[in-house]
Amino acid sequence: MGNSSKRIAIERIIESLFGFLKAGYNSLVNGLKKLSKDQKFFISKEQNKEIIILCMFAILRAISTACGDNIVSKNITEKFQQKIFKNYFKDTKERENFKELFLKRYNEYSELLSPENLDLKNLDLHIGQIFCKYFWGEDDESLAITMMFAGYICISVMTETKKFLDEVVSKYIIVF
């Protein structure tokens, strides 16, 4: 997969991807706090899951785009997800519930990126609509700025992660 004899351990890639997830997560949380009119802004456990899902989606899409559909991509995806589950969902039942929820959201977000979707110029808004629908329980027009912000963070994380992975894939042989 790489063009040189340099090798990089998959664990190092996973650590970097986890850093992208945390950066996206922190950006989203800080932005939501600033956009909130409530001075005592609080993120519930369910809302926290939606933030993690959005950032995970961005990174997993970047992995599949940069690495394709192969054993490397599958290994990176699997190990990345394991790290998320280990760090955020200690309880087995909670982890299984999150996996199920994530799959539903992943499919919903993925529909926006399907070849049939011709409205990619408003992708940030559409991603944000889905996010707000589940985060706030609504997606009305008064949340337009929040929608655009959440969508922008998702696209930024996806883009920067893909750039990183493109660089890694072009310069290194990934070892398991």
**pLDDT, tens digit, 9 for 90 and up, residues 125-137:** 999 999 999 999 8
pLDDT of 138 strictly over 90: no
Asked whether residue 78 is domain-assigned, the answer is yes
Among the ranges given (77-86, 88-97, 114-123), the one the predictor scored with the smallest mean pLDDT: 114-123
| pLDDT computed for residue 15 by the predictor | 97
Asked whether residue 168 is domain-assigned, the answer is yes
Q: Phi then psi for 7, rounded to 5 degrees?
A: -120, 150
Tokens of 53: 């899902």
- Where does the pLDDT of residue 143 fall: very low under 50, low under 70, confident under 90, or very high at 90 and above? confident
Asked whether residue 132 is domain-assigned, the answer is no
Overall domain count for the chain: 1
Asked whether residue 139 is domain-assigned, the answer is no
Tokens of 119: 């409205």
Boundaries of domain holding 17: 7-113+154-175
Rounded average pLDDT over 84-101? 94
Rounded average pLDDT over 78-86? 95
Q: If DSSP states are collapsed to H, E and C, what string results for the chain?
A: CCCCCCEEEHHHHHHHHHHHHHHHHHHHHHHHHHHCCCCCCCCCHHHHHHHHHHHHHHHHHHHHHHHCCCHHHHHHHHHHHHHHHHHHCCCHHHHHHHHHHHHHHHHHHHHHCCCCCCCHHHHHHHHHHHHHHHHCCCCCHHHHHHHHHHHHHHHHHHHHHHHHHHHHHHHCEEEC
pLDDT of 40 strictly over 50: yes
Asked whether residue 34 is domain-assigned, the answer is yes
Asked whether residue 38 is domain-assigned, the answer is yes
| pLDDT computed for residue 120 by the predictor | 66
- The rounded percent of the chain whose pLDDT value lies above 90 is 76
pLDDT of 91 strictly over 60: yes
The chain-wide mean pLDDT, for the chain, equals: 91
pLDDT of 2 strictly over 50: no
- Where does the pLDDT of residue 1 fall: very low under 50, low under 70, confident under 90, or very high at 90 and above? very low
Asked whether residue 29 is domain-assigned, the answer is yes
| pLDDT computed for residue 119 by the predictor | 65
Q: Phi then psi for 174, rounded to 5 degrees?
A: -85, 125
Asked whether residue 47 is domain-assigned, the answer is yes
- The rounded percent of the chain whose pLDDT value lies above 70 is 95
